[in-house]
Amino acid sequence: MRNGSELWGEGYDRKLSDIGNLQQEITQGIAIKLQLRLSSQMDSAQEKISPQDSETYLLYLHGRYYLDKQTTNDLRTAIDYLQQAISRNPNFGRAYAGLADAYVSLGQPWIGGLPPSQALQVAKTAAENAIRLSSDFSEAHVSLAHVVLLHDWDWRRAEEEYQRAIELDPNSAQAHSQYGYLLQVQGRTAAAVREAEKAAQLDPNLGFAVGYPYYTARQYDQAEKIFRRYSDHGGLAWVYTATGRYPEAISELKAAVGDGAPSDIDLASLGQVYARQGKKQEAETVLDKLVQRSKKTYVSPVHLATIYTGLGEQERALTALEHAYQEHDPYMIYLKVDPALESLQSEPRFQALLRGMNFPKL
């Protein structure tokens, strides 16, 4: 399926003038084959697509399919399809929303396709175009909310956009899930859990995310129960690290990696465990691996900061966070609630970062 050729096994021999039937088959047939999580608004608020724009819509669906895969190569493929859709119809706002989402993903540290500041700037332009052209569609508001949160640290507007997205489509798992993260990183735990649970009801694949508001709220017993229920080895490793259960943390990290190569976040988690155990040499070996990776692709400085913090090297940790601040690293929104960085919170340089990010006061 790498080239997408098997996705279109069924014929759609329809006259372009029969656009109503074509759209119905696209949304009910092709979209199912693509396993797209098309929101309920597709049925109730279908955009008007003229016969000559049917190809635009197919290009958009292709883009959303590859966007869901969340790998560097697939995201670039998604971007290509979405840009083709925009070239065919510059007024098709939902293609801009997809483009914004693709660039936001490409700038995420766990993907590392682009430095965040570069990716988010492109994403912001696309999201603004999406809102301008398709303001009645939930996904446009979700895209803009995500961008203004990560790029602008505009917490109030991000919340307004998420709320508008949910108002337009109460059954959007994406909107509820991302709104939950916004609430979580502000320390609004009860509200974050409600949104995460609503997202999980709509999309059971998101059930594990309910554990993260409990984790950042230091409610480790509840977080552990949820992570264990969903076999979230990474989440369990974080809980065990925070509670000093280091051998169990390492066991969970091994399970998370399996037979594959460790991700940046897996390495950072392992480095934290070594550092907290007092295994300085092992922690520094992990640090070196991350530094070497950063010469080839983007590696979040927040990862380095968590290891430095574990080693008690506060100044180096703060310097790494200041680098992440300049880059608008997406992990920076967790600055206020991340247990791994808790020992830095009283530092003036840390407080300056919080002020610079305009964190709202609760």
pLDDT for the residue numbered 261: 84
Domains contained in the chain, CATH given = 1-131 (1.25.40), 232-362 (1.25.40)
Rounded distance, CA 285 to CA 294, Å?
14
Q: What are phi and psi of 110, to 5 degrees?
A: -75, -10
Please tell me the least confidently modeled range out of 35-44, 129-138, 222-231, 273-282: 35-44
pLDDT for the residue numbered 361: 78
The mean pLDDT value of the chain amounts to: 87
- 3-class DSSP assignment, residue 283: helix
Rounded distance, CA 94 to CA 96, Å?
5
pLDDT of 21 strictly over 60: no
pLDDT for the residue numbered 28: 41
pLDDT for the residue numbered 33: 42
pLDDT for the residue numbered 120: 95
pLDDT of 264 strictly over 60: yes
> pTM of the entire structure?
0.84
pLDDT of 304 strictly over 60: yes
pLDDT for the residue numbered 318: 98
Q: Give percent above pLDDT 70 in the chain.
A: 85
Rounded distance, CA 123 to CA 143, Å?
9
> What single letter denotes the amino acid at residue 278?
G
Of all residues in the chain, what percent are helix, strand and coil, respectively (each to 5)?
A: 75, 0, 25
pLDDT of 111 strictly over 80: yes
Q: What is the pLDDT of residues 333-350, one digit of tens each?
A: 999 999 999 999 999 999
pLDDT for the residue numbered 38: 40
CA torsion angle 181 186 189 191 (round to 10): -70
pLDDT of 17 strictly over 80: no
CB 311 within 8 A of CB 279: no
pLDDT band at 362 (very low <50, low <70, confident <90, very high): low
Q: What is the pLDDT of residues 62-92, one digit of tens each?
A: 999 999 999 999 999 999 999 999 999 999 9
